Amino acid sequence: MIKPVGSDTLQPLFVYDPDEHHELLKESEGLPSVTISSQAAGNAVMMGGGYFTPLKGFMNVADAMGCAESMKMTDGTFFPVPILCLLENVDAIGDAKRIALRDPNMEGNPVLAVMDVEGVEEVTDEQMQTMTEKVYRTTDPEHPGVAAFNSQGRFAVSGPIRVLHFSYFIDDFPDTFRTAVEIRNEIQERGWNKVVSFQTRNPMHRAHEELCKMAMAAVDADGLVIHMLLGKLKPGDIPAPVRDAAIRKMAELYFPPNSVMVTGYGFDMLYAGPREAVLHAYFRQNMGSTHFIIGRDHAGVGDYYGAFDAQTIFDEEVPEGALEIEIFKADHTAYSKKLNKVVMMRDAPDHSKEDFVLLSGTKVREMLGQGIAPPPEFSRPEVAEILMDYYRSLNK
């Protein structure tokens, strides 16, 4: 099985031992505590589940700057984005050596993790700007990732953490949320060796389904892990429970038995395009995938990134040998009226735009909202039905 990044074994930061968990939880109630940002909470959940192996906790400013500028921490450890715990106010911490990190996304702000404080630093405007530019390739405050990153505060609290809870993800998505530990174990139980993973924050249309099948056939994969984002998205994106239902229906009806795992992870979308694509590949290797699909505009938003920037970054910027996972580089896929099947557009040079069934996201949302199913070449009817029910509920 493929090794985790930079380690022989997965290193989840969740406290699995029940006695130790109970003791830490008891101790945490008496510790100075801070309610962290949603982004930091998502990072804690990812570290808890082993996705960010071999990170031990939140970075200090020097390590975060190193990751932003060269994808390397000061000791040379590869990591593609800064993982910071940024706060607006650190008065509650004082000179405490151990603190409780509280969850901003759950009622009552329960303790999410305990941190051994190694540093409290003020991040300069210049440092914030450098990190923003390097990770997001823009400082435009209209960019949702830039806005979220820069709204967290300017005090970076760093140190190793022990995770005590998986936030709302385990409660709200019990059938879908999985840690990297659980996915690795299931891949092993299924006897899969070559595993393709597919990232999604949207329901999967016919083109996505066929793209997954193309990738599986191309690398002779044993199985596919559809791995959906369960954290915060931008306004207008379809909620996770609806996506989950639509994807499960598609997998059940249109893939062979024992060939697909439908899972999800708890993390707030960065919309950082190329850099986020590298992070996505990083934690897919940690969960046991050998191949990862990256298509056009992966993890992007608006017009901030070129169509294939998320593919070329692996050739141009990722340090040699940093990742073992292989990238399956995909073009836009669509149904060809000429060939009566879904193809990658680059594989059909004799086609014009009119030869494909192409619908914009806006057009599809309009159709679904009016109770009109998109053509079956675009969306499976059973999937469209689930989405139409959702849009109809909005109009009630």
Classify the C-alpha dihedral 83-87-91-93 as positive or negative.
Answer: negative
Whether 98 is catalytic is no
Q: What angle do CA 382, 387, 392 make, to 5 degrees?
A: 125
DSSP letter, residue 272: -
Whether 137 is catalytic is no
Beta bridge partners of 158: 119
Among candidate residues 109, 185, 193, 202, the one labeled active-site is 202
CB 148 within 8 A of CB 41: no
Which pair of structure tokens corresponds to residue 308?
A: 């294939």
Write the DSSP string, 20-86.
Answer: HHHHHHHHHTTS-EEEPPHHHHHHHHHHHTTTTTT--EE--HHHHHHHHHHSB-TTS-B-SS----E
210: Cα within 13 Å, side-chain hemisphere: 19
CA torsion angle for 281, 179, 150, 238 (degrees, to 10)? 90
Whole-angstrom distance, CA of residue 392 vs CA of residue 386: 10
Q: Distance of CA 22 to CAs 18, 25, 48, 50, Å? A: 6, 5, 16, 20
Beta bridge partners of 121: 156
Among candidate residues 201, 243, 284, 380, the one labeled active-site is 201
**Entry field: residues in the chain:** 396
The residues assigned a catalytic role are 201-202
